[in-house]
Structure formats: structure tokens, C-alpha cells
Structure 1
Amino acid sequence: MTATPETAAPATTPTFLETVAVYFKPRVLIVLFLGFSAGLPLALSGSTLLFWAAEVGVNLKTIGLFALVGTPYTIKFLWAPIVDALDVPILARWLGRRRAWLLLTQLLLMVAILFLGANDPATAPAVVALGALMVATASATQDIVIDAFRIESLDENEQAAGMASYVAAYRVGMLASSAGALYVVSGFEALGFTKSGAWSAGYAAMAALVLVGMLTTLVATEPEKSAKAEAIHGRETPVARLKRTISGAFVDFFTYDGVLVAIVVLVFVVLFKFTDALAGVMTGPFAVDLGFSRTEYANIVKGVGLIALLAGGFAGGYIARALPLAASLWIGGILQSVANLAFSWLAVMGHDLMWLTVAITVENFTSAIGTVMFVAYLSALCRNPLHTATQYALLTALAAVGRTYLSAGAGYVADATGWMWFFVICALAGLPSLLLLWWLQTKGHFAKLAPKKS
């Protein structure tokens, strides 16, 4: 058997203390706070806005149309090349390429949130929809920059820990702008504010929380890789940079390992989280069909489920830090597939709160582990700082195919097979990605992605 870098000279496994210590490195802590900044706006143009609209009597048809304002999150790859290719005037000279874009998007985000909160869904639904679209666009652009910043600033063995920290803080940010925002609005009403005034003040308070991300941007240092790319920018016109960014993102990807491996990688990206997506679409309807109330289900998802999700993220970071990337993906892929069998068992047990809690806990814990491994892999694929944002945005858009389109037939499968066998099928849906993982490993794909020894 021919030795490869992964088999011939395995890296020394870090101790538990070394693995924990990575979470306290300044660069990882920066990513943690940026995660909060990324998670904060999501509910403000989503669930919190819909709650506000329903509370002031907006009709259900209009409320449903508000969901369209989330479109920028799904098409952000279209303007990601602009973030890679163009530098923000003045700010780029002061802060550097990535931090300039971060500060700009955060300023725009704060203004958009204030504009959204200053209008009333009952009297100006079109203006509110425009404000929500502005929030979503600024937020999606911030996501593009944060992803590029994280990939370029963290070493390969810090990526998983950075992602685990990012996901945990992202959830906290979402909680602050959903349940937290509702508490703040109730507090302003208790102080004597009118309903409209309380909501405007609540959104203003959420806009103030954007300062967390802005201060983090100012404290952070520009990634070294980005600084090198910025030097190359100075030798080209903006139009030339944009053309090279778009073409280079594809050329680099397809020439690095060859076209065949690149195509298999893209299929693997689509399929790796498919087992999760297929089951996730029907988890809510499954709980309703078994007779669980909205409150019972929500309490478990937002309580124990959230804790399991955060714990799984940090566990995934620990595993990815201790093991090679391919081994981490094997663990994540197998665990997230097998976890679906917990729902199969729940289908046999019927209405049982304890088993619902177990199933959701197991699913959230293993799904978070798989997600951390998967994001670490996507990050490793983005090697060139000249188009990190473009490549990562395209890969995440491709990953959404399984969640958005391939899982669209889940209801038909569940109706035809029954709940127990449906979740068995969901578990088996993880097998194709594991076969592709094995093939990629035999081709030395992961050995090439491993960090170079200095």
C-alpha cells in the first residue's frame, strides 16, 4: 500500500486542554462575536417581523408574502464576486479589505433596522417590506464577508472550533432578536409606550446590538491572506478584478484536483446533509400527526433541543480538532444518518414526550456535529483569498439544493411508506454521500487539503 501524507505521518493528536484552548484564541473569539452579529438580523426580517404584523392586524395573505424578503439569503452568491473583487473606498485603506466590507455592511444593517422599525406594518406594509428587504440584503452581504473573514483568518486546525463558536453565537443572536426582542417590546409597553412606539423602540434596541459586530470589526486584525490579495488588487482595474474573480473561482476549483474529482466534490456537497434535510422537512408534521401539541413540541425544540444543538457544535469542533478532516466527515456523516432511527422508534412508541425529547436531542446533537465537519470541509475547499467569498457562497448555495429541492418530495415518501419506514429511508439517504466520501479519500483528495507542514 502506498503511503499518503495522512497514513504515513499522522499529526499528533492534541490533548483535551489544547483542544479546549483553541476556543480562547483571539481569532476564534473574534469569529464568536461575529457569529452573534450574523445571527442578530435574521429574525428581524423574519419571525419577529411576522409576529409584529400579526399583532397589529395585517391579513394573513400579506404576512405570507413577507416571507419573500428572505430572498437575498438564497441568491447572495450573485454579488459575492463584488465583495471579493472591489475594495471599499477610504475604509479599505484604513481597515483593510475584509474589515472595510464588514464595517460598511454593519453600518447599512443598523440603518436598515432603524428604517424598518420606524414604520408600521398595519399602515405601510409596502414600506415595511422594503425595510425588511434592506435588512435581509445587508445581513446576507455581512454573511458573505464574515465567511470569507473566518476562512482567511483561521488556521486549518482552527476552522472547526471557529465554526462551532460561530454557530453557538449565531443562535444566541437569533434568540436575542426573536424572544429577546419580544421581551424588549413588552418592556417598553410596560413603560407607557404605545404599541407602535414600543415596536419602534424595540427595533432601535436591536439596531444598537449591531454595535457588538462593529466593535468586533474594529478590534480584529485584517487576515494576512486578505492583505496579500489586496496588494494584488492594486495592480488591476476594478473591472479586471471582477472578471478575474468570477472566472478564477471556477478555474481554480476545477483545475486543482481535476474535473472528475471536482464534479464528485460538488455532488458530495449537495448530498452530505441530504439525510438531515429529508427528515427535517417532516419532523414538525410528524410530531403533529402523533398528537403532540404546539407547546409540547416548541418547548422541547427551544429548550433541550437548543442545548443539544450547541453541545453538538462544540463536540464537532473537538472531534475536528483531534482528527483528520476525512475521519471527521465519516463520523459526522454516519452519526447524522443513524440519528434518524430515533424518530423511527418514536413512530413505533407513539405519543411519548420522553421519546420525543430523546429523538430531538439526538437529532440536534448529531446534526450539529455533521454541520461543523461539513463547514470545515467547505472552508478547506476555498484556498485562494482572491475569491474566497465567491467560492464559499457558491458552495453553500449548492449545499442548499438538497435542503430546498431534493427534499421537496419528502411528504410523498412519508405518505407512501408510513412514518417508521420514512425515517429509515432518511437514514439510508446518507449512504450515497458516504460512498462519495470513500471515493474521494481513495483519490487522495483530503491529503491535498491537509495543512502544509512548515
Structure 2
Amino acid sequence: MTTPTSSDPATEVAATDLKPKGLAVLKAAFRERRTLAMLLLGFSAGLPFAMLIGTLNAWLTEAQVSIATIGILSWIGLFGAFRFLWSPVVSWIPPVIGARFGRRRSWLLCLQVVIAISLGLVALSRPESGVLGPLALGAALGAFAFATQDIVIDAWRIEVADERVPIDLLSTIYQLGYRTAALAGGAGALLLAEAMGWPGVFATAGLLMGLGLIGTLIAPEPTPTSQASVARERRGSPTLRLAVLAATLLAWGWAAFMLIQFMVEALTVTPAPSARDFTATWGPWIVAATVILPAALAGLIVWKGRAATAAEGAAAPKLADTLYDAILAPLVELMGRLGWGAVVVLCLILTYRITDGVWGPFAFPFYMGTEGGALGHTNAEVALASKTFGVVMTIVGIALGGWALLAIGRMWSLLLGAILTSATNLLFVDLAQGAPNVGAFMSATGLYGLFGAFQIGEPLSRLMVVIAGENVAGGFAGAAFVAYLSALSNKTFGAVQFAVFISLALLIGTLGRGALGELVEAQGYAPMFIIAAWLGVAAIVFVLIEWVRLGLEARKAPAA
């Protein structure tokens, strides 16, 4: 086989121009079944999260289940934060039906059936009777299954992307499906509960998981990863690889012990420990042991090691190499590819979504409380502003983010998202201080009159406008962020790498919440939002540094 060494420049330009660009990519992509599959898979990812993490608490509250018991069930949310612990298993071991449907699709089919069954178990429970066994089992099973499903969907999205259906577009479509499910499983479920009761709502959600099954069946199976490409990451001597693997397994074993111990205590100890407190206290240590330490050791392998010779690769026990390929090879590849840039990438991931994540638990106290600048709205008003109008605005933001990714590019979109999420915190500062600027803006633009036509008073209309700004910014930034992380992941190791990225982004938001709570009690809500805005400035700085890093890499690529 020969490779041409030169060609006519005019021909090259013409060939390039035939590729769809900008919004033309969107038109070309929707002729592909991958985009429809991505939309349905995004819906199947968002629905169980909305039902089991949020809406279930509304049913329990209505059934007059104690706050302590609801707290016991809250630990199921940890499955999402720590899913990277079992991502290597999902990445490399197919379920029993894998021979027919392929590794990714067979996992999706199994997990979607499990999620549907778990929602059915919840539907069969009767929390008002005080018997919570079936409900707890269904909720825990469903949370584990949807967290695992997220690993597979993320890997599938990374692996099937190409120039015709780029990762930016697939990431945006996934977000649209996810947020649509959040609207259906949030406000939609609350409305449906009035008509058919909570068991019917959860049974309906179980049936709606059939949309995910359809998405899985029409989704193409990605090309399996070449074992040779994985084996190339077996760098250094067998002794070094075994030592690093042993240290990593010990760290992961400790993390698993801590998680299991907490879960047992949550189910057996009264009063139950707080999942939020556990994550805030032990989350950083678990992340350090299970992500930071293995990443550092992977960097050591890259620094000290070299590509293993055939003899060295054969010298290590087969089981050790198998575990190394599943657990450490993704991190070795990442550290080897990024080099010093890994520090920049890590800082960007840790700071990008912290502006809204860090104060998320204080949102409802701010909306509904009466002290420290809180707004004093009712449950119904907050449900309208946040759970209905707010989710719609998030979807609008995602759509705008998808347009920006295709029209102005990934890094411009990432930077704009960081600026918007930082700036919109200042709107909440204004609300906490009595809304002098927001109120003046709404009077000048006639927005008070527009909302008044729908019988919405001035205080609620101000909240809705500020939530609209914050959620549009959050949706925009979320689309850009997921696209960036997806592009950052190597197709060969996408499942593990993306799971690590998302886990870091989720867990970092828990840091400092205890101190923020004390700050709110002492000084009110306005200082908290000011701090969040400054944290957003840090994200802007890291985006700019990452942009420079990518530019330097791009200039080096032709020379290489």
C-alpha cells in the first residue's frame, strides 16, 4: 500500500469545502440515526435521575415520611459521584448478551431494563404505610443502574463521533434529551401525580424507559477497541507497573470500604448520617485516593517509563496486565498525552461548574426563606419559577450552546459559558439586596407589565427573570463543558476517562458548603453569590490558559 506524498492544493481546498461546516453540520447530522439515538439515550439518562433523586422526595414528603428517613435514602446520589470506581468493569467486561448486540448496546439494554424494574418496585411501594423496604431497594438499584448507564452512554457518544456527526453536536443533543427528561420527571411528574397518584407516575416513568430501549436498538455499535492500542500504554518495567497497580487497588479498596461503611450506617444508625456531610468530609479524600493518586502514579509511569518491550509485557502476570489495562492504562494515556497540561485541565474541570454547584443546596432556602436577604416565596411559586420555567430556560441555553459550538467553536463557547455563569451570580446578589437594579431594569423594559398579564406579581417575576438568566447561562455552559470533556477523552479509554472527569466536576461542588452555610447565617446570602462570581473568574482564567495550551499543541502537530 502506498501513501501519496503530495497533491494539488486546489484539490485539497475543494475537498475540504465539501465537508459541512457550522450550522450545515446540524442539517447533515439529522440524516443520521446516531443523533436520534443520542436524543433518546439522553432522555433515558435524565428520567431516572429526575425521578429518584428529586421527585421521589416529593412523594415521601406527601406521605409524611420523616426527614430523617428521607435523609437515609439520600445516599443513593453518591452512586453518580463515585461511578468512576466501577467504570473499568463496564468498559471491558460485556454482559452475557454482548455477543449479539455488542459491548455498549448490550450494557445499555441490560441497564435500561433494570432501571424500568427499579421504577416499578418504587411504584409498588406504599411509603404512607411505613413499609419502605421495596422503595429503598428500588431506589438504590435504580440509582446504581442509571449511574452505570451514564458511563456507557458517555463512552458510546465519544466512540461514535466523527466529522459528519461531531462530538460537540452529540453532546448538545444528549443535553437536550437529558433536560427534557428532567422537565418530564420534575414538573411533569408533579402535575401527573394530581391525576393518577404517585404509583401511577413511577409506573409511567418505567414505561417511558422504553424510549431508551428504542434508542439503544437503533444506535450503531462502536468499533471494539483494539487490544494492541491498549497494550501500548503498558509502559515501564513490570515491577513498576505492579507497584503502581497495587497502590491504586489499595486506594480503591479503601474508598470502597468507606462508601460501603457509610451506606450500612445510613440504613442502620439513628439518626442517619448525612450524605452531604459525608461527601463534604470524605469526598475530597476519596477523590484524592481514587483519582488524584492514580493520576499522579500514571504520570510517574510516563516520566520514568517507556513503551514496554514484548519481553517486558510478557513478564508481568496476565491478571495484573488485565487490571492495569482496565484501571491505569486510561490514566497513563491521558497523562502521556497532556503532559504538563494535565494540571491546567484538572484546574479547569474543578472550577468550571463550581459557580452554580457550590451554592446549589442553598437555592431553595434562598427562594423560600425569610432571613438574610431570602425571598420568602411559596412552594407553588418556586415550582413555577425553578422547576418549570427554569428547566425550559435551561433547554434554551443548551440549544444556544449547541448553536455556538457549531458556529463559533468549542473554546469560544467554553469561554463565553464561563463568563455568563460567573456574571449571572451578580443577578442573585441584586435579588438578595432587594433587587434595585433588576427591578429598575424590569420597570424600564415593561417586563413587569408582561408578567402581570399572566397574573404574576413583581417579586415572582423578578425571580423568574433572574432564574432565566442563570439557567440559560448554565445550559449554555453545560453544553460547552460536556463537549469539551468528551473531546478531551480518548476513544479507546472514553468510559473511564469521562467518568473520572464528571466525578471530579460533581464532587468539587461539595467543598466549602459548610463554610458557606455559616457565612449565610452570619452575613446573609449576598456574600455567598459574590464568592461564587469570583470562583467563576478562576474558571475564566483556566479556560484562557487551556486555549493557549491547545494552540501551542496545534502548532507543534505539523512539525511532529
Fold match by TM threshold 0.5: yes
Distance 1:418 1:55 in 2: 30
Deviation at 1:99, TM superposition (A): 0.7
Tell me which amino acid in the other structure corresponds to 1:110. Answer: A
User: Which of 415, 424, 449 does residue 330 from structure 1 map onto?
Assistant: 415
Deviations 1:149-174 (A, max 9, x none): 11111237732332222222222223
2:124 is the counterpart of 1:118: yes
Distance 1:159 1:408 in 2: 37
Task: From the superposition, tell whether residues 295 and 180 of structure 1 become closer, same or farther in structure 2 (CA, over 3 Å).
Answer: closer
Partner of 1:364 in structure 2?
Answer: 471
**Residues 50 and 63, structure 1, Cα contact 8 Å, conserved in 2:** yes
Partner of 2:333 in structure 1?
Answer: 252
**Residues 36 and 215, structure 2, Cα contact 8 Å, conserved in 1:** no
Partner of 1:175 in structure 2?
Answer: 183
Task: From the superposition, tell whether residues 158 and 392 of structure 1 become closer, same or farther in structure 2 (CA, over 3 Å).
Answer: same
Task: From the superposition, tell whether residues 297 and 180 of structure 1 become closer, same or farther in structure 2 (CA, over 3 Å).
Answer: closer
Task: From the superposition, tell whether residues 177 and 334 of structure 1 become closer, same or farther in structure 2 (CA, over 3 Å).
Answer: closer
Deviation at 1:310, TM superposition (A): 0.4
Tell me which amino acid in the other structure corresponds to 2:515. Answer: G
Partner of 1:71 in structure 2?
Answer: 78
Deviation at 1:399, TM superposition (A): 0.8
Select between 297-306 and 266-275 the one with higher mean Cα deviation. 297-306
Match of 1:339, SS state, is: helix
**Residues 88 and 101, structure 1, Cα contact 8 Å, conserved in 2:** yes
Task: From the superposition, tell whether residues 42 and 284 of structure 1 become closer, same or farther in structure 2 (CA, over 3 Å).
Answer: same
Deviation at 1:130, TM superposition (A): 1.7
**Residues 38 and 139, structure 1, Cα contact 8 Å, conserved in 2:** yes
> Taking every aligned residue pair, what percent have the same amino acid on both sides?
32
User: Which of 439, 445, 460 does residue 353 from structure 1 map onto?
Assistant: 460
Deviation at 1:228, TM superposition (A): 3.9
Partner of 2:209 in structure 1?
Answer: 210
Partner of 2:174 in structure 1?
Answer: 166
**Residues 282 and 410, structure 1, Cα contact 8 Å, conserved in 2:** no
**Residues 81 and 507, structure 2, Cα contact 8 Å, conserved in 1:** no
Partner of 1:105 in structure 2?
Answer: 111
2:494 is the counterpart of 1:388: yes
User: Which of 509, 516, 520 does residue 403 from structure 1 map onto?
Assistant: 509
Task: From the superposition, tell whether residues 247 and 228 of structure 1 become closer, same or farther in structure 2 (CA, over 3 Å).
Answer: closer
Match of 2:328, SS state, is: helix
Distance 2:203 2:92 in 1: 33
Task: From the superposition, tell whether residues 97 and 107 of structure 1 become closer, same or farther in structure 2 (CA, over 3 Å).
Answer: same
Distance 1:422 1:153 in 2: 41
Task: From the superposition, tell whether residues 70 and 443 of structure 1 become closer, same or farther in structure 2 (CA, over 3 Å).
Answer: closer
User: Which of 360, 366, 378 does residue 286 from structure 1 map onto?
Assistant: 366
Distance 1:17 1:384 in 2: 25
User: Which of 284, 297, 317 does residue 382 from structure 2 map onto?
Assistant: 297
Gaps of 5+ in 1: 1-8, 189-197
Gaps of 5+ in 2: 1-12, 232-316, 436-457
Tell me which amino acid in the other structure corresponds to 1:94. Answer: R
Deviations 1:327-378 (A, max 9, x none): 2211111111111121222234447333222211110001111111111111
Deviation at 1:33, TM superposition (A): 0.5
Task: From the superposition, tell whether residues 338 and 265 of structure 1 become closer, same or farther in structure 2 (CA, over 3 Å).
Answer: same
User: Which of 530, 551, 554 does residue 424 from structure 1 map onto?
Assistant: 530
Select between 332-341 and 308-317 the one with higher mean Cα deviation. 332-341
Deviations 1:40-84 (A, max 9, x none): 212433333333333444333222212122221222111110011
Aligned residues: 430
Distance 1:451 1:114 in 2: 53
Distance 2:523 2:64 in 1: 41
**Residues 20 and 318, structure 1, Cα contact 8 Å, conserved in 2:** no
User: Which of 316, 325, 344 does residue 401 from structure 2 map onto?
Assistant: 316
Select between 326-335 and 340-349 the one with higher mean Cα deviation. 340-349
Deviations 1:385-438 (A, max 9, x none): 2x2111111111111133122444323344555444442332221122222222
Deviation at 1:445, TM superposition (A): 6.2
What TM-score do the two structures reach when normalised by structure 2?
0.69
Deviations 1:268-303 (A, max 9, x none): 110111222234343333333133333222211133
Match of 2:47, SS state, is: helix
Deviation at 1:261, TM superposition (A): 1.5
Distance 1:183 1:435 in 2: 43
2:124 is the counterpart of 1:44: no
**Residues 97 and 230, structure 1, Cα contact 8 Å, conserved in 2:** no
Deviation at 1:449, TM superposition (A): 12
Task: From the superposition, tell whether residues 53 and 416 of structure 1 become closer, same or farther in structure 2 (CA, over 3 Å).
Answer: closer
Task: From the superposition, tell whether residues 306 and 205 of structure 1 become closer, same or farther in structure 2 (CA, over 3 Å).
Answer: closer
Task: From the superposition, tell whether residues 244 and 366 of structure 1 become closer, same or farther in structure 2 (CA, over 3 Å).
Answer: same
2:255 is the counterpart of 1:148: no
Distance 1:305 1:177 in 2: 14
**Residues 36 and 213, structure 1, Cα contact 8 Å, conserved in 2:** yes
Task: From the superposition, tell whether residues 27 and 416 of structure 1 become closer, same or farther in structure 2 (CA, over 3 Å).
Answer: same
Aligned-residue Cα RMSD (Å) equals 3.2
Tell me which amino acid in the other structure corresponds to 2:336. Answer: T
2:341 is the counterpart of 1:261: yes
Distance 2:95 2:198 in 1: 33
Select between 71-80 and 198-207 the one with higher mean Cα deviation. 198-207
Partner of 1:375 in structure 2?
Answer: 482
Task: From the superposition, tell whether residues 244 and 410 of structure 1 become closer, same or farther in structure 2 (CA, over 3 Å).
Answer: same
What TM-score do the two structures reach when normalised by structure 1?
0.84
Distance 2:410 2:553 in 1: 9
**Residues 401 and 476, structure 2, Cα contact 8 Å, conserved in 1:** yes
Distance 1:15 1:241 in 2: 42
Match of 1:262, SS state, is: helix
Distance 1:309 1:328 in 2: 16
**Residues 342 and 358, structure 1, Cα contact 8 Å, conserved in 2:** no
**Residues 37 and 213, structure 1, Cα contact 8 Å, conserved in 2:** yes
Partner of 1:219 in structure 2?
Answer: 218
Deviation at 1:312, TM superposition (A): 0.4
Distance 1:451 1:37 in 2: 39
Partner of 1:135 in structure 2?
Answer: 142
Tell me which amino acid in the other structure corresponds to 1:340. Answer: N
